[in-house]
């Protein structure tokens, strides 16, 4: 058997806080610092601090929910609408070739967080290349602060065009 190593992930694994970021970060009030991009009534959108690609977002309910079937109707509907909003926003800001959507359910699937959240990751042809495998490096062309500001500008521009 051959092993592929992803050493950049250790920074994430060693930095997992004891508290639930999906419960606590929205309460802190500094959306830009905690990468909260959109707030809804029942759920919110947050940039992934350790993204797989630029524009990697997560949609989560405010309420600490472990499984899809625990979502109430308002949470379910709003989360789906926020995923649609994210898709539109990312298409305008980044022009990706496609998206990966994935729900993290349970602590093993959720990188240590048992709080349900859904990822939306923009994808481009050739975005997975030799760098992670051969050079132990993940290439992200922009800083998270830039991603946050870029998506906020795209949201503002979209609102003005309506």
From the list 20, 104, 15, 18, the residue with the least C-alpha distance to 58 is 104
The per-residue pLDDT for range 33-69, each reduced to its tens digit, is: 999 999 999 999 999 988 888 899 999 999 999 999 9
| CA dihedral angle for residue 57, residue 145, residue 19, residue 59, rounded to 10 degrees | -20
Is the pTM higher than 0.85?
A: no
Helices (H) and strands (E) in the chain, counts: 5, 5
Beta bridge partners of 102: 119
CATH of the domain at 52: 3.30.428.10
Cα of first residue to Cα of last residue in the chain, in angstroms, is 55
Residue 1: pLDDT band (50, 70, 90) is very low
Pairing assessment for the beta strands 98-104 and 57-61 based on DSSP bridges = unpaired
CA pair distance 121, 99, nearest whole angstrom: 5
Residue span of the structural domain in which 41 resides: 18-123
Indicate which residues carry an active-site annotation: 117
Identify whether 142 is part of a domain. no
DSSP 137: -
Identify whether 12 is part of a domain. no
């Amino acid at each position: 058997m051959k092993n592929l190593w992803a050493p950049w992930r250790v920074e994430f694994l060693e930095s997992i806080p004891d508290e639930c970021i999906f419960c606590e970060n929205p309460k802190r009030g500094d959306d830009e610092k905690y990468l909260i991009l959109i707030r809804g009534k029942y759920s919110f959108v947050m940039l992934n601090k350790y993204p797989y690609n630029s524009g990697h977002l997560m949609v989560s309910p405010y309420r600490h929910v472990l499984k899809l079937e625990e979502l109430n109707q308002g949470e379910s509907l709003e989360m789906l609408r926020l995923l649609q909003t994210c898709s539109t926003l990312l298409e305008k800001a980044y022009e990706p070739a496609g998206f990966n959507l994935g729900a993290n359910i349970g602590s093993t699937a959720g990188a240590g967080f048992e709080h349900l959240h859904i990822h939306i990751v923009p994808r481009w042809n050739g975005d997975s290349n030799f760098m992670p495998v051969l050079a132990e490096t993940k290439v992200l062309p922009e800083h998270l602060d830039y991603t946050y500001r870029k998506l906020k500008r795209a949201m503002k521009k979209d609102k003005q065009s309506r």
